[in-house]
């Protein structure tokens, strides 16, 4: 009707129309490939062709009117986008894996976040956490190495003095008694240093358990002050104590005694002649902490004090402020305040140091008080 050429699949339609398929009645259309001849009143002849459907080369992907070139371009662009997206997601993971292997090999200076160019997604947060962990590990390792250096230095000094005393004793038979006394002092100092180092190591061990008992802070301070007063009198200074009544805490009695005694002896050691070490203990009002209140213990000396920049460092192991605290050899090995700090922290308290008005150093210890209305078990749970 439109005078267009027949498709190739229907090229044999005229022959099929003139020669019906075997077994097909006249005027009927064959199921496939057959044709029906129609004659119009004007004499025109038309053929109705039934042709089989030709399968598409790419099935349903071959859309009508879509050239294969355009389809190939679309597939190429999609593949490129998927590749770069996969690289965008996989590259940070590869960088994280490389960083973990470097950490395992001992390189604690490796950092991941700068290589990710400040990503703020979950991978960026993971990289930031990994960098924080690496920095923390680096600081811990440096602290351990510094501790080993300090311990070796502190052990070397009394050992050198021991060797010197032995050498002098062998050369001066008349002064053997004096040299033996010095050897005994150095041996005692070595024993104390080793004991304090082991004590500090035990306090820093994870999972350290505390003995829980009711401790009267006032009585404990009174006992310590009486013991330290003998040492203070030999140095020409005195110890003064002012404590409120009913200052009870729940904790390890020996550990608390060690904390208070180290702070008080440190104050006596750096007090001048005719100076005073003032110890005060009071209980804060219950309204500041309804669960039982807080107990503040302040130990103040009248020595030279500590530079402001060093106040936060004096609780580190083996740290000593020689320039501010004198060079007369009266300083300890720098472990007493470190032990006190760890002991107070294990009891849920805190310890701080500040320079007092009028001179001297004031060390404040704050602990949780025990309410008399609670049982010992409840107090132990509260402290833990």
pLDDT one-digit tens code per residue, 226-241: 989 988 988 889 999 9
Q: How much of the chain is in helix, strand and coil states, percent to nearest 5?
A: 50, 15, 35
Looking at the predicted structure, is the pLDDT value of residue 66 above 70? no
Report the length, in residues, of the chain: 384
Element spanning 351, H or E: strand 350-355
Sign of CA dihedral 85, 87, 93, 99: negative
H or E segment to which residue 117 belongs: none
What pLDDT score was predicted for residue 277? 94
Band (pLDDT 50/70/90 cuts) for residue 380 is very low
Residue from 362, 369, 367 nearest 346 by CA: 367
Spot the catalytic one: 153, 208, 350, 372: 153
Q: Do 26 and 20 meet the contact criterion of CB atoms below 8 Å apart? A: yes
pLDDT band at 372 (very low <50, low <70, confident <90, very high): very low
**pTM score, two decimals?**
0.58
Higher pLDDT, 266 or 26: 266
The mean pLDDT of 154-168, rounded to a whole number, is 79
At 280 the pLDDT is 94
What pLDDT, in 10s, does the model give residues 308-326?
888 888 888 877 775 444 4
The yes or no reply on domain 213-383 and CATH 3.40.250.10 is: no
Domain boundaries, the chain: 1-64, 79-207, 213-383
Q: How confident is the model at residue 256 (pLDDT cuts 50, 70, 90)?
A: very high
Is 153 one of the annotated active-site residues of the chain?
Answer: yes
- Rounded to the nearest integer, the mean pLDDT of the chain is 77
Q: For residues 154 and 163, what is the distance between their CA atoms, to the nearest angstrom?
A: 15
Q: What is the pLDDT of residue 259?
A: 92
């Amino acid at each position: 009707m439109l005078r267009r050429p027949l498709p190739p699949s229907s090229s044999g339609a005229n022959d099929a129309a003139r020669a019906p398929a075997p077994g097909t009645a006249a005027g009927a259309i064959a199921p496939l490939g057959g044709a029906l001849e129609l004659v119009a009143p004007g004499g025109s002849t038309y053929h109705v062709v039934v042709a089989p459907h030709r399968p598409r080369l790419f099935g349903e992907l071959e859309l009508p009117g879509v050239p294969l070139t355009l389809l190939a371009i679309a597939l190429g662009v999609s593949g490129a986008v998927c590749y770069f997206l996969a690289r965008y997601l996989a590259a940070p993971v590869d960088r994280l894996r490389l960083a973990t292997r470097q950490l395992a090999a001992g390189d604690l200076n490796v950092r991941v976040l700068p290589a990710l160019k400040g990503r703020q997604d979950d991978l960026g947060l993971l990289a930031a956490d990994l960098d924080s962990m690496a920095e923390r590990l680096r600081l811990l390792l440096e602290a351990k190495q510094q501790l080993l250096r300090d311990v070796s230095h502190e052990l070397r000094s009394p050992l050198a003095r021991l060797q010197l005393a032995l050498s002098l004793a062998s050369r001066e038979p008349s002064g053997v008694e004096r040299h033996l006394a010095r050897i005994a002092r150095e041996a005692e100092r070595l024993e104390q240093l080793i004991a304090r180092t082991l004590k500090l190591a035990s306090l820093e061990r994870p999972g350290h358990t505390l003995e829980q008992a009711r401790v009267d802070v006032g009585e404990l301070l009174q006992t310590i002050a009486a013991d330290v007063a003998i040492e203070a009198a030999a140095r020409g200074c005195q110890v003064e104590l002012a404590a409120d009544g009913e200052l009870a805490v729940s904790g390890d009695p020996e550990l608390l005694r060690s904390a208070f005694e180290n702070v008080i002896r440190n104050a006596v050691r750096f007090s001048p002649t005719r100076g005073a070490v003032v110890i005060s203990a009071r209980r804060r009002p219950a309204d500041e902490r309804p669960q039982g209140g807080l107990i503040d213990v302040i130990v103040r000396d009248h020595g030279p004090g500590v530079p402001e920049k060093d106040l936060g460092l004096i609780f580190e192991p083996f740290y000593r402020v020689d320039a501010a605290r004198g060079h007369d050899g009266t300083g300890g090995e720098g472990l007493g305040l470190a032990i006190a700090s760890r002991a107070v922290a294990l009891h849920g308290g805190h310890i701080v140091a500040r320079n007092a008005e009028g001179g001297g150093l004031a060390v404040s210890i704050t602990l949780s008080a025990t309410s008399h209305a609670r049982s010992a078990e409840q107090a132990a749970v509260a402290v833990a």
